[in-house]
Homo-oligomer: A and B are copies of this chain.
Amino acid sequence: MLKVGVIGASGYPGEQLLKLLLAHPRVTLAAVTSRSQVGKPLSQVVPSLRGQDRGLTFTGSDAAALAAGDIDLFFLALPHGAAAEFAKALVPAGKRVIDLSADFRIADLATYEKYYGKHHAPELLAKARFVLPELTPPSWKTEARLIAAPGCYPTSILTPLVPLVRRAGGAGGIISREHIVANSHSGISGAGKKTEEMYLYVERAESIKAYGLTKHRHLAEIEEQLSLNAGGGHITIQFNPHFAPMRRGIATTITVPAAPGATIDMLYAAWKSTYDGRPFVQILPSGETPDTAHVTGTNRVDMSAVFDARTKNFVITSVVDNLVKGASGQAVQIMNLWCDFEETAGLA
């Protein structure tokens, strides 16, 4: 049994992570920290864990003590900035770290600082790897000590697009590198547990509202990953996020011009060669569209695409549970692969 710890577990992704780890067959949850909840039983803060918290209580967040202890792997479920501080203590001590924040998702420091402000541990960027398990080449498993788990919107966008941008432009290209438009609608848990008027039940029920247009922080990792995978040049996308009246789930609809001569079969072939045999990416037949409700509580991306003969665009739709494949489930999947557990352990 692997000993794991969770640093900062009082938000929605943290709660989901605790549920997954408490039920995981290969790990022992050895420490859960939260500055604001020290001393409380897990299930007092996360009532859905009643009867399942194995008597654990929240402890304080002493990074040095954790670094000196016997826990093998830590999940950081902290705001960006705070995550970097913990990574600075834990990584040099030889701990494996999986960070759910944005701190190590962006390889380019300038890009990070443009979107997030000053980085608190730039010296660790070289040791960190952004890992989308189905897309990142497997060498990360031995090379990295610090893994950045992708964000929720990026997972819903990169999973369908990366196999296509790898074949963008040029002969045999599938999609255009330009005029990519991604509209995403997120359940309200995507905003975190913020006690602001904006997130009250009465305000968000029966409401769809765009937000963060032109400047959402997830643009940084979406575009960096697309560009790295496209093999040269910067890919710019139009990313339009919205809130929708659901607790969980992200639905993303991407419009992208087909490359000249590209067909829907070529698109599906690219997807299938990338995802064949991967349990957490499900490709639906063209013409059938995925549904956020079908992935709630799962670690899956469901996706499909259609070619619009009128516009010569591909229209791609994908769905994820923002708290599972978009956050905690993906972090557990990363752990499973990193520690040579079955990829689906604790996730199905």
- With a CB–CB cut-off of 8 A, which chain B residues contact A214? 306-310, 315
A213-B12 contact given A189-B202, A208-B246, CB 8 Å threshold: no
| Residues in chain B near residue A193, CB distance under 8 A | 197, 200, 202
Note all chain B residues with C-beta closer than 8 A to A52: 279, 348
Contact assessment for A289 and B210 in the assembled complex, using a CB-CB cutoff below 8 Å: yes
How far apart sit A194 and B25, CA to CA, in the bound complex (Å)?
A: 38
Query: Residues of B contacting A95 with CB < 8 Å?
Result: none
Interface of chain A residues 205 through 256 with chain B (CB within 8 A): 205-211, 213-214, 236-238, 240, 242, 244-249, 251, 253, 255
How many A residues, CB 8 Å from partner?
77
Taken together as a complex, chains A and B put the C-alpha atoms of A131 and B181 apart, in Å, by: 31
Residue A50 CB within 8 A of the other chain: yes
Known: A199-B200, A201-B199, A209-B251. A48 touches B298 (CB 8 A): yes
With an 8 A cutoff between CB atoms, is A185 at the interface?
Answer: yes
Is A280 interfacial (CB 8 A cutoff)? yes
Is A273 close to B, CB under 8 A? no
- With both chains docked as a complex, state the minimum distance between the C-beta of A237 and any C-beta of chain B, in angstroms: 7
B240 contacts A255, C-beta separation under 8 Å? yes
Contact of A183 among B249, B253, B300 (CB under 8 A): B253
Does A297 sit within 8 A of B, measured CB to CB? yes
Most chain B CB neighbours (cut-off 10 Å) among A248, A306, A310: A310
Which residue of the partner chain B has the closest CB to A283? B50
If the complex has contacts A209-B290, A293-B203, are A244 and B245 also in contact, measured as CB distance less than 8 A? yes
Question: Could you pull out 7 A-B pairs where Cβ atoms are within 8 angstroms?
Answer: A183-B183, A185-B208, A195-B200, A200-B201, A207-B246, A208-B291, A209-B292
Q: A50-B294, A185-B242, A188-B201 are in contact. List 14 more A-B contacts (CB 8 A).
A: A48-B295, A181-B255, A183-B240, A185-B244, A189-B202, A195-B200, A205-B246, A206-B293, A208-B246, A209-B290, A238-B311, A240-B315, A242-B251, A245-B245
